[in-house]
Amino acid sequence: MERDLQQVMPADERAGAEIRLARAADASRKGRLYLALHELSAVWRLQAATTFAGRLRDKVDSAEEFRKEWTSIGEPVMPAVPSALPLALGALATSAEAVAPATYRASLPYSEDAGIGSGLYYLGDSQAAVQFGAFCRSLILADRGPRPSLRSVAPDMDRLETEILKNYNKADATARRPFIQISVTLKIARERDASGDYAASLVQYLLARYQHALVTTTAPAADIAARLKSSEAAMHNGDHSIGELFLQMAAAHLENGNPEGSRIATAIMDVVIPEYIGIVKR
C-alpha cells in the first residue's frame, strides 16, 4: 500500500497517511490486529479513493459523464451487522460501511459545486468504505468466547456532550480545534446507535471519549504499565475485543518510552477503559 500511495499522491499530501500506515504495520507485526485495522481504515480509503478518481479523471470529464458513472455504480447497500466476527472487528467493518451511502449521495453535488475531480474522489471513497468493510469481514479469527451484553450508549453520549460543552466553553480558539473531530466521532456513534449497531456505536463513543480525554489529561500516571498489564489479563474471559482495541492503543503509545506516549496511555487507562467496563458490566 505504501507503494500505491507514492504512485497516486504527491509527497507533501501523503505524509499523514504514511504515518498511519507505518503505525498499522507496526501494530500488525506485534499482533495488535484491532489497532492495525483501526489505523489502516483511513489510509485504505484515502488510497482507494484517490486511485479511483485518478483512473477515471480522463474518462469522466463532464457533468453528464459523471452522472452516468454515478448512476451505473449505484448507492451502496449497508450489509447486515456481522454475527460471527469478534465485536471489534465487526464494529470496524460497519463503522466504515455505514458512511458509504451518504458519501455516495454527497458525491453528486460535490461534482457540481467543487468540480468533477472532487465528485470522483467522494464517489471512490464510498466504494472504498465498502471494500474496507468487506476486507474486515473476510478475516477468519478464532472464536473469542461469550460476548458481553451490549446496549444503547445514548445516555453515555448525552453525558459526554455535557462534559464536552463545559470544556469547549473554557477553551480558547486554538484549544477548541480538537472538539471538531470529537463532534464528528460522536455523530457517527449516534447514527450507529440509532440503527441498533451497538458494537460500532460503542467503539465510536469510546473513540470520542478517548479524543476528549486527550484534551483533559495533562500528565502521565506512574503506575500505568502495571495497570495496562492487569487490564489485558482481565479481558481474556470472553469477547472483550472492543476493550482490547483501546488496550492495544495504550500499549503502542506506552512503548514509545516518552512522556507524551505515557500521557496518552494514561488517558486511555483513566477514562476509556473504565468507561468500557462500566458499560459492558451493567
In tens, the pLDDT along 265-274 reads: 999 999 999 9
Task: Output the CA–CA distances (angstroms, integers) from residue 275 to 12, 64, 77, in the order listed.
Answer: 38, 50, 32
Report the pLDDT value the prediction gives residue 174, as an integer from 0 to 100. 85
Asked if residue 2 has pLDDT above 60, the reply is no
| Whole-number pLDDT of residue 94 | 96
| CA trace torsion 39, 191, 184, 42 (10° rounding) | 20
The 10s digit of each residue's pLDDT in 133-154 is: 999 999 988 888 899 999 999 9
In the numeric block, which cell numbers belong to residue 270?
483513566
Confidence of residue 16 (pLDDT cuts 50, 70, 90): confident
For Cα atoms 222, 223, 229, give the angle at the middle one, nearest 5 degrees: 145
pLDDT digits 0-9 by tens, 167-216: 999 888 888 888 999 999 999 999 999 999 999 999 999 999 999 999 99
Question: What pLDDT, on the 0 to 100 scale, is given for residue 1?
Answer: 59
74-94 tens-digit pLDDT = 999 988 888 889 999 999 999
Residue 4 pLDDT > 80, yes or no?
no
252 neighbors 23 (Cβ within 8 angstroms): yes
Q: Which residues contact 8 (CB under 8 A, 6 or more apart)?
A: 47, 50, 51, 54
Does this model's pTM top 0.75? My answer is: yes
Asked which of 32-46, 109-123, 165-179, 227-241 is least confident by mean pLDDT, the reply is 165-179
